[in-house]
Amino acid sequence: MMHLDPLLSGRAARWLLALALLLAGLPALAQPDPPGRVGRLNDQQGTVSFSPAGADDWFELGPNRPITTGDRLWTDRNARAELSLGATALRLDEQTAITLSELDDDTARITAAQGRLQLRVREDLAGQRIEVDTANLAMVIDGPGDYRIETDPAAGTTRVTVAAGQVTLFGEGGESVAVGARQQLTISGRNLEAASGAAVRTGTGFDRWVAERDRIEDQSISARYVSRDVVGYQQLDAYGDWQNDPGYGSVWYPRNVDADWAPYRDGQWVEVAPWGWTWIDAAPWGFAPAHYGRWARIGPRWGWVPGPRQARPVYAPALVGFVGGAASANLAIGNGRHGVGWFPLAPGEPWRPGYRASQRYVDEANRAAFQRQLAARNGGFANQQLPGAVTVVPTDAFGRGPTGRRDMVRLPPSQLTGVPAGMGAPVPPGDRGHGGFGRPGTPPPPQAALQLRQFQQLQQAQQMQQTPQFQQAPQLQQQQQLQQRAVQAQQMQQAQQQQQAQRLQQAQQLQQQQALQMQQAQRQQIETQQRAVQAQAQAQQQAMHLQQEAQQRAAQAQAQQMQAMQQMQAQRAQQQMQAQQQMQMLQAQQAQQANAMRQAQEVQQRAQQMQQQPRGPGESRGPQRSGLPVPGQPPQPDRP
């Protein structure tokens, strides 16, 4: 656990008091230029959290948000991160907490509260200063090399390992010790008194990851075309191709972009101090092409033109021109609404920032753009007149989140060419900028967070005490540095106040949105329940209706079956009656035939009997009349 020395705190308070008195006694100073160098999250594994300067909240850090003075980083368990600081790579192992205490054109000062970090410095410093501060010491890098710092606040120690190069360690009282290549020191205390040496440890998982990152950096193709001080150049290798153009020289073309894609289309505008509106590109390769060089339409494709190699390129928040958004340049988009649009600057077109800056700063920022001066087209910009080059959104949607395709407004080129264009964003930031943060991140442990905050508050005093160069400088140089630091402190305080006010507004808006979302969720839940009850009632009614229909159909079928059975029974009864009648008729016929035969037999019997009776003399043997009819003969009438 780190305990700040009361003596150090007293010295810091006196230095801050001296700064305040100096600021009050000096005449008004010209506002310094913004830094021309920023950092970027180049690679990460696991959760990397970010807290902007002056804030207490932590967020998940996206790859293309610029990192600048006062920003804090924390790598969670099993996480690693690589930051690009131009030609210098800063790698963080798991559970490492750092603050970028100072990052500008000449100085990169990192404060490490806990954990392990590694720096690879590729090029000569040429007057630049790279420093790493811990609770025990300040390490100043003397030249290119490979350096590692491991600080343990619980043990109160800092281990410094130099694989290549040389550093100088400074204690609180001005003590110093040089550490060369293949050397390692473990420091306990703030005066470099308890120091021990040990062999350099290698072969850990962090070592293997660092070696792989070095290999990728060494084999970068884009480093042949741009300076390694161009932040984000490493991502160009995997997402595009370099070609040579007769008019523009080296040109980089992105792969796998939509047919209607244009530069500065997929991303968001956020407010980042001290530059103001800053473009955060959504593409993994989008950092370098958004903040350096120019864009040109070459045939059917967009190509990024970095210009000639620069040893110290100047970072710009966005190299675009704006249209609309202001009362003097309204851009009507229909339905009584107005829009704001932007387009990439072409090679040869100068850029001028929307914030105050010196002419030297502007000239340095435009140095690479003047490789090929383009003639103005009708007094306008080259890309403004190209179809599909201008991205337009409603003014009230500008700066309120990522620019989605649904937010874009498509206008004919004729409606855009006549609109005046300017450099500064025509929309005031107000409460629109949310910093380009992601989801809430994992904060460091409370002790590490407290250490980061304390280091941030005491950074000016510690820098003055631990910098021999400052102590040996002439009086005039000291005053200039004091003035610059005082102005920077004032700007940082103002930026922190603005950010705190913005965070308060954002928190209120978030609460309102959450309350509205809860109301909407409750209303939706009630509506869902009502719909469910209605659906259940309808289902029951339908089921009852179907049941009734089924019962009716069953009754009808039963009635039809009964009717059919009755019909069949009636038919059978009728058939039985007919059969009985036929039997009776047959029996009557048989009886008649039997009677007739019986009568015939009786007649024959009588006839035979008569023939068999004896006859007297004189009686004829012929038939006699007996008064009975003779069968087969007609009856004869009686004679008188």
Helix (H, G, I), strand (E, B) or coil at 15: helix
249 Ramachandran zone, left/alpha/beta (phi>0; psi -120 to 50): left
- What average pLDDT score do residues 536-549 get? 87
Distance between CA atoms of 616 and 607, rounded to whole angstroms? 18
Sheet strands (E) in 4-154: 40-45, 48-51, 59-60, 72-75, 80-85, 88-92, 96-103, 107-121, 129-133, 138-141, 145-152
DSSP 8-state secondary structure symbol assigned to residue 519: H
The set of residues, in sequence order, having a beta carbon less than 8 Å from that of 38 and lying 6+ positions away, is 66, 67, 68, 103, 231, 315
Quote the longest CA-to-CA distance of the chain. Answer: 209
Distance between CA atoms of 112 and 121, rounded to whole angstroms? 18
Phi, psi at 338, each rounded to 5°: -125, 155
Say if residues 248 and 372 touch (Cβ distance below 8 Å). yes
Q: What is the pLDDT of residue 11?
A: 44
Distance between CA atoms of 474 and 619, rounded to whole angstroms? 205
Residue type, 312: R
**In CATH terms, is domain 6-218+442-472 a member of 3.30.465.10?**
no
Residue ranges per structural domain of the chain: 6-218+442-472, 240-422
User: How many residues are present in the chain?
Assistant: 640
Residues 138-196: tens digit of each pLDDT: 999 999 999 999 999 888 899 999 999 999 999 988 889 999 999 999 998 888 877 67
- Asked which of 403-417, 431-445, 545-559, 571-585 is least confident by mean pLDDT, the reply is 431-445
Residues 295-338: tens digit of each pLDDT: 999 999 999 999 888 778 999 999 999 988 755 567 888 888 88
Considering the entire predicted model, what is its pTM? 0.67
- Report residue 4 as tokens: 């700040």
Residues 27-55: tens digit of each pLDDT: 334 568 999 999 999 999 999 999 988 78
Say if residues 323 and 416 touch (Cβ distance below 8 Å). yes
Residue type, 564: A
Cα separations (Å) of 414 from 321, 328, 408? Answer: 17, 18, 17
Residues 543-559: tens digit of each pLDDT: 888 888 888 888 888 88
Q: 569-587: b or e for each residue (b if 16 or more CB lie within 10 Å)?
A: eeeeeeeeeeeeeeeeeee
- Report residue 354 as tokens: 């929307």
